[in-house]
Structures are given as C-alpha cells and as structure tokens.
Structure 1
Amino acid sequence: MALPASLPSLGVREAITDAIYRCVLGLDTDDKALFDSAFTPDASFDLNGNVMSGLDAIHTGCYDPISRLDTTHFISNVRVNVREDGDSTASMTTSALAQHYRHKQGTEAGATRLLTGGLYFLELVKDGQDGLWKIKHWKLQPVWTEGDRGVMTGK
C-alpha cells in the first residue's frame, strides 16, 4: 500500500514533524517514494560520524539495508524551531527507538534483534515545488544499543 507524501490538513509544526515520520515510515514499510519525499536531493545523513551526502548515498548507506529488515521506528520528545515570520527553514530534535529484526524474522519467537535508542538532530527546508518540509541534514546520535549488531549486516 503506497502512502501519500502530502497531507494537506497539517499545520506548520505538524508538517515539519511529518518529514521525520515520512522518513521512518518509509523505512518500516519499504516505501522508497515516501522515504525520498522526506529529503532534499542534496541532503546529508550523519550516522555517528559516518556522513552520507546526497540521496543516492543515503539510499546505499541507510535505506537499502534498513528497509529490507523487519523494523519499527518510534519518534518522541519532538521539538521544532521555526521562525514565525514564515521563514522556510526549521530545526528539530527528537528521541528515537528503533527495533530491527532480520527479514521475515520479526514475528518469530526468540528471534535475535537489535534495539537502539538515540537522538536525532535535523535541519529542514520547505520545498518550493511541492510544499513539503524536507530534511537537509540529519544527525543520528546513538545513545545505546541492545541485542545482536549482526542483524544490521545480515550476519
């Protein structure tokens, strides 16, 4: 089921927050179009010092390996900073939990998994073409992990 990228009834802060929701829901449902709608083409993603520049690099280093897993990402403690004068830039911080299982093993009793907790720091811009808020820069700062790191590499 394809999910729409645009939800026209959202207020400004909700529309900004929707960028990270589109991103993680795209990962969890293997919906590349929804994932891509969350980013500018020249976005950067800093995963604990490993910086991916451009959407192609983000696909290779993030979307491709994660979207193939059984995952759920939960976003909370969202804080949005946007100027009230209609500026088309914003920043956002969130806390995140992400559960990762190997493909088709998420519902198996006793399956190995990797649970991570982290902080997200995002810079966003409003796209003048489609009106969506998009991630320009995303820094993911892992705080803790629990479980088998081999889940991420398929080992």
Structure 2
Amino acid sequence: MSALDENDSALFNSAMMSDVTQDFNGQTRQGIEAVRAHALGVVGPLDSTHFVTNIRIDVEDDAANTATLTGNTLALHYPSGTGRSQSNRRLVGGSRHKVEMVKGAEDGLWKFQTWTIRTVWFEGDYSVMDGVLDEL
C-alpha cells in the first residue's frame, strides 16, 4: 500500500506481474498499465494512508512459487494537500483483499497476479474520490 500512499509508480510496478488482473468491487482491469492508472490515478494524488491488518499468507508446499495473501485495509483519504490541515473533508473506508501471488522469475520478488478488493464500508465525504465511487 506504500506505493498508493506515496504515488510511486516504480514501487507499484515492482509488486505487480505485467499481466495482473484486478477485480475492484466487480469492476475488472487487466494488465499493469490499467491497474496502475486506476490505483495511482485515483488514490495516488490524495493525502492517503492505508493500514493493512489480519494478513495471512498461504504458500502451497508443492508450488513454492505461488501463494495466496488475504488481509483487511483501513484507508484514510484527504484531498491533496489537506491531510495535515483542520479539514473535515475526508473519506475513510474498510476493505477486504485477496491476492494470488507468484514469485517473479527474473528478480525473485513476490508479485500480484490477481488482486480482488471488496469494499465493506465507507464513512465521510464521497467527493474526496471524485470518479472512483461511480465504479463501486
């Protein structure tokens, strides 16, 4: 989630397979360019912080190059440049994530192959994320 909070394309790319598939509340994106454009295009510019908890990673003994990661996120979003102000304009949300991961052959890093996100709840000002909530 650091790549989102820091709007860091290089970090984001290092965590994704080039043919990654994302299912964000039923809206599917295919390929790293589409997934990155949505993730960094919507969340990247915001003052945001994502907290990940209840992480579980299952690695199959017979397939040491694949794993499944599950976890929950609490995400706080403020319009760009307002996160440290007294602004009451914010959007907080809770989501569940399931990620099928593979170990990259070139660099040995674990990377997202499929990323499923299910938003459970939101609280606050929906206009903070203009455009993204139309897809929820």
TM over 0.5: yes
Tell me how far 1:85 sits from its aligned partner: 4.3
> How many angstroms apart in 2 are the aligned matches of 1:145 and 1:76?
17
SS of the aligned residue for 1:67 comes to coil
Divergent runs of 4+, >3 A = none
Q: How does 1:5-154 map to 2 (within 5 A)?
A: 24-85=1-62, 87-153=64-130
**Where does residue 134 of structure 2 map in the other structure?**
none
Specify which structure has the bigger relative contact order, considering alpha-carbon pairs within 8 angstroms and separated by 6 or more residues.
Answer: 2
Tell me how far 1:84 sits from its aligned partner: 2.9
Deviation string, structure 1 residues 57-111 (Cα, Å, up to 9, x no partner)? 1122221221100000000000111023452000011011010110001111133
2:96 maps to a residue whose letter is L
Tell me how far 1:35 sits from its aligned partner: 1.1
Structure 2 unpaired stretches of 5+: 132-136
1:122 maps to a residue whose letter is V
TM-score (norm 1): 0.81
RMSD after superposition? 1.2
Structure 1 unpaired stretches of 5+: 1-23
Bigger shift: residues 68-77 or 53-62: 53-62
Structure with the higher strand share, 1 or 2: 2
Tell me how far 1:113 sits from its aligned partner: 0.5
Aligned length: 131
TM-score (norm 2): 0.92
Q: Percent identity over the alignment?
A: 39
